[in-house]
Chain A
Amino acid sequence: MPIRRRTPLGWKQLVHSKGRLAVATAGVAFAVLLIFMQLGFMNMLFDSTVMIHRQLNADIVLVSSKARDFANPGTFPRARLLQALSTPGVADAEALYVTSRDWIKQSSNDRGERGAMLLLGVRPDFKAFRDPEITAKQHLLVETGAALFDRQTRGDYTAFRAAIERGERPQTELGGRTVTLVDTMQMGSTFGAEGALIVSDQSFFEFAINRNPGAPSVGLVRVEARRDAEAVAAAIRARLGGYDDTMAMTMEKFIEHSKIRIQQESPIAFIFSFGAVIGMLVGLVIVVEILSADVHDHMAEYATFKAMGFTNRALLGVVFEQSLILSVAGFIPGLGISLALYALVRSTLTMPIAMTLERLLLVLFLAVALCVISGAIAMRRVAKADPADVF
């Protein structure tokens, strides 16, 4: 016999109490928003940590064994770079110098505030970055004190950008010396620095007088065509075997290594994870309260249904149905608001925050889990409904 679909009792109950539905949906949406934002910020931290790594034009990198993150990479002896260069399979190798320096922002309000910039020093004729725009403009860095200015620098740099667009060369103070912004490029800000400046290696030592050419921050190594980068990296490691001051790894390993390091060494990952858990708990409490109140209000009806012959399982299905509806109903606005806030963070902080499919599915799963757990707690009351109580 053909079967008709059963009455969607859970849905009917929810939409009948519209105020309660709105509160429950808002509660789940808030939890979803909190989880999305916490996970988004956490991943933004990790992504911003390796944002510059991804722009480096290298198959293998050399870094200090004590390197922490890109803003604090430490240094290693330049001799290691020469050793790497002499390894079979290596096409070329060049030094990249990295440090952070305060500069005077001279934003459009001209208050002369100070900010921290990441300073990258590279030989002007070496293609150190993948971005062809930077490569095309590197020749401008030959002039001492010239810098390419990251137009994604966080903050109000309208005046600088406008001046450069007009063909002017605005100047400001970097590390106590005059820097000339000869053009712009795109790099992006990190948690530690508002933006980046690329200068020549010669200019770098003007701005960072405590640094010397014999101690680069990162060695950029490119392998010959059709050579396996991992095998060449292993050969470099073998060649550097007697020295534990320098690590050689492929770019992929370098990115992975940096992410793991920030995850293990920074308390931020824990803090954001904790925030996500708090979001879950807040949502859990709200949904448990809402579902429990709904079950309480319908106890007489549930008892009546039991008297009519409904099994506990069938009635638990009603609460389960409500849980699933709430999870989806709360997830959609939570996702929408999160996407809007991600866009806001991207535009104001110029940091790499984006929704990934994995995160979307993870949070959807968490939202469903949250509501199912809440439903399971509320279901205990349904199971206790005594059909004899209806008389």
Chain B
Amino acid sequence: MPASSQPVVVIAGLSHSYGSGATRRQVLFDLDLTILPGEVVFLMGPSGCGKTTVLTLVGGLRSVQQGSVRIAGRELLGADEAGLIANRRNCGFIFQSHNLHRSLTALENVRMGLEAQGRGLPADADERCRRILAVVGLEDHATKRQDQLSGGQRQRVAIARALVSEPTLVLADEPTAALDRQTGHDVVALMRRVARERGATVLMVTHDNRVFDLADRILEMEDGRIVGSRQGDSPVPHAGAGHRLEYTT
């Protein structure tokens, strides 16, 4: 990972609650977290411990209530809707269920990642989409819709969609949950590799210990707090600048 860069994610004193009054329930307590550029960080912990809430706050999908969340230098505490949208455009999202649009082809779904930037599509948009589909091994599936793709292929399209706009930060929410062991590992390995190639940082929520070897750092959460941090089981060497790894399944 680039050692001299500024942190991509800086969280300080983050607390968050759902509901109000008697039904108010605090899910995050005074959380601190810093993630460096290019780092692949897994967030794990039991259900309801607050992992997904962290992900949604970092992604600008919820407003920060208390504490500071700074993404690539942009403070999200007090950010208006436009500020949150700008942050979302700087992130690539990969969801538990791929959430591909069922009426669009793989290529069109990936293109939505560029259209989401709100700047109009560049002339070479399709070329860029085809290139990243080739990177995830789906160059021959560009015109297929999701019902013509396997679970692993769909998740690879989702990865391509998340990364096509070259985001600073990739946020993934249990992307292996619906996949078998080998496919799940392949998908995360691919996500990690492509993110690295494009200089993106990855924050991924997962329960899946089968992919822990792909993390640089694993954070354990419990009851809204980070209770542990360790290095990944078997770190993979980082790709250098301009170096492209071949994808194999």
Contact = CB atoms under 8 A, between A and B. Distances in A.
Contacts of A300: 99
Interface stretch (B115-123, B133-141, B188-196, B229-237): B115-123
Interface stretch (A3-11, A90-98, A196-204): A3-11
A13 B103 CA distance: 6
B154 interface: no
Contact of B99 (A15, A388, A390): A390
- Give chain A's interface residue range (CB within 8 Å of chain B): 20 to 34
A388 B63 CA distance: 10
B243 interface: no
Contact of A1 (B55, B111, B118, B122): B122
A310 B123 contact: no
Contacts of B126: 4
B176 to A, nearest CB: 15
Contact of B89 (A16, A309, A387): A309
Interface string A287-323: 0000000000010110011111111001000000000
B102 A391 contact: no
* Best-buried of A7, A298, A314 by chain B (most CB within 10 Å): A7
A137 interface: no
B123 A3 contact: yes
- Give chain B's interface residue range (CB within 8 Å of chain A): 20 to 34
Contact of B111 (A7, A304, A309): A7
A12 B173 CA distance: 28
A308 B121 contact: no
B42 interface: no
Given A7-B104, A301-B99, A301-B102, A309 B123 contact: no
B115 A307 contact: no
B52 A308 contact: no
B61 interface: yes
B121 A4 contact: yes
B99 A310 contact: no
* Best-buried of A3, A12, A305, A307 by chain B (most CB within 10 Å): A307
A307 B118 contact: no
A311 B112 contact: no
Contacts of A13: 103
Nearest to A4: B121
Nearest to A302: B101
* Best-buried of B52, B121, B173 by chain A (most CB within 10 Å): B121
17 contacts: A1-B122, A2-B123, A4-B122, A4-B126, A7-B111, A12-B103, A13-B103, A15-B103, A16-B103, A301-B99, A305-B112, A305-B116, A308-B88, A309-B118, A310-B118, A390-B61, A390-B95
Interface of A: 1-7, 9, 12-13, 15-17, 298, 300-301, 304-311, 314, 387-388, 390-391
